[in-house]
Copies of this chain bind each other. A is one copy, B any other.
Amino acid sequence: MTKPNIPKGTRDFGPLEMARRNYIFSTIRNVFARYGFQQIETPSMELMSTLMGKYGEEGDKLLFRIQNSGEKANEAPEKGLRYDLTVPFARYIVQHRDELQFPFRRFQIQPVWRADRPQKGRYREFYQCDVDVIGTDSLVSELELIQIVEDVYQALGIRVCLHLNNRKILAGIAEVIGAPDKIIDITTAIDKLDKIGLENVNKELSERGLADDSIAKLQPILALQGSNEEKLDAIAEVLAGNETGTKGVEEMTQIIDLMKCQLSTINYQLDLTLARGLNYYTGTIFEVKALDVQIGSITGGGRYDNLTGIFGLPNVSGVGISFGADRIYDVLTELNLYPASMMNATQVLFATFGDAELRYALKWAKQLRKENIRVEVYPEPAKMKKQMSYADSKAIPLVAIVGGNEMESDTVMLKNMTTGEQSQVTIEQLINKIKKV
């Protein structure tokens, strides 16, 4: 019989991977709680009417559809798997608006599914971890999300740079160069500046129907240099007299001012090339990159003024970011930043020479567990070598060996698996030893 397998693009997570993932999620969750965010979950399946048309034509093709066995094969399935957490969140807000208190601060950590071609680092099932404030246009929400980014990456020990942009600045630029209807083409092209270079971006802009003089007017913007303040001043000058653009510059200035007032130490930069290819952002756009690993964006998001409009509730402004758990996982692995304690692993294994010893060990285990100590009892008096090698392969630091002598003297022979040291200890001594470690 051949080994069974799993669908391509999906993954099993074993104990080590799960401990690492739980460490990432609990670190993030703890930060969210300090800012008063509350968790929600939405179903894995949404109605196709909820999903279709929300992710562009390309996105529609990447939806997984779900069939009941009752449904005929040629019937269009009525349900699909969640493609992201944003659209279900918008649906949730509209559906439950009468029960919610606005501004509504929620976070959500759940898997999403995309029928993408699987490749290294791209999966068909992966977790998203979104945090949003909805129902206020106060820039304090932007500030708080920036602080959350700062707190999370400080807690994880990852050095990052926060990239900031504003969709209104991009729109202003489009207007100023005389191509206001081309903002989506411009932002999509600018988004690729890092990947394909200036020349190809200009070529693409031309192919997208941008006039040569518009492209020429855009060049100073694409070539901006200097400190954040210098860049912002230069942009303000280009956009002087343009209402949308000036509003964007004002928002950016206010956010930077709030960060200063909060003595934020996060490393950040204005980045006009940042558009995130997403058309629903209307204000600030965020992206976070790890400084010590080449991996692209590990967190991103922005402000949207009309997310719930698609479900019939217009003019609700919100802002949110999404932490990329898989990439954060890779960064922590590459930089070897996981703390040993995250495994929450067994602290002591009892190994026994016979049935009476096994029962004796079970009694000790019960007492230790009452002290919240993580204990295993090898379930049979197997060969001592087998029991020791079990402890070894699970990296259990202490083995309590029980034979006739130990039972008689109400002790165990405690072996430190790192140093090889052995000593006979009472139960009180054992508890103290473990609690000290």
Contacts and interface: CB of A to CB of B under 8 A. Distances in A.
A147 to B, nearest CB: 7
Q: Give the interface centre of A10, A64, A95, A311 by most chain B CB atoms within 10 Å.
A: A64
A200 interface: no
Interface string A354-375: 0000110011001001001111
Contact of A372 (B34, B68, B111, B393): B34
Contacts of A6: 42-43, 45-47, 50, 91, 95
A332 interface: no
Contacts of A136: 379-380
A369 B35 CA distance: 8
Interface of A: 1-7, 10-15, 18-19, 22, 33-36, 38-47, 49-50, 60-70, 73-79, 81, 91-92, 94-96, 99, 101, 103, 105-106, 111, 113, 115, 124-125, 133, 136, 138, 140-141, 143-144, 147, 151, 258, 261-263, 311-312, 344-346, 349, 358-359, 362-363, 366, 369, 372-377, 379-380, 390, 393-394
A363 B68 contact: no
Nearest to A69: B61
Smallest CB-CB A-B distances: 7 pairs: A1-B312, A10-B43, A15-B38, A36-B376, A138-B379, A36-B346, A140-B379
Contacts of A111: 44
- Assembly of this chain: how many copies? 2
A200 B144 CA distance: 65
A38 B38 CA distance: 27
Contacts of A22: 39
A7 to B, nearest CB: 5
A416 B15 CA distance: 45
Contacts of A44: 10, 44, 81, 111, 113, 125
A361 to B, nearest CB: 9
Contacts of A95: 3-6, 12
B45 A7 contact: yes
A416 to B, nearest CB: 18
A34 B374 contact: yes
Contact of A73 (B10, B74, B141, B151): B74
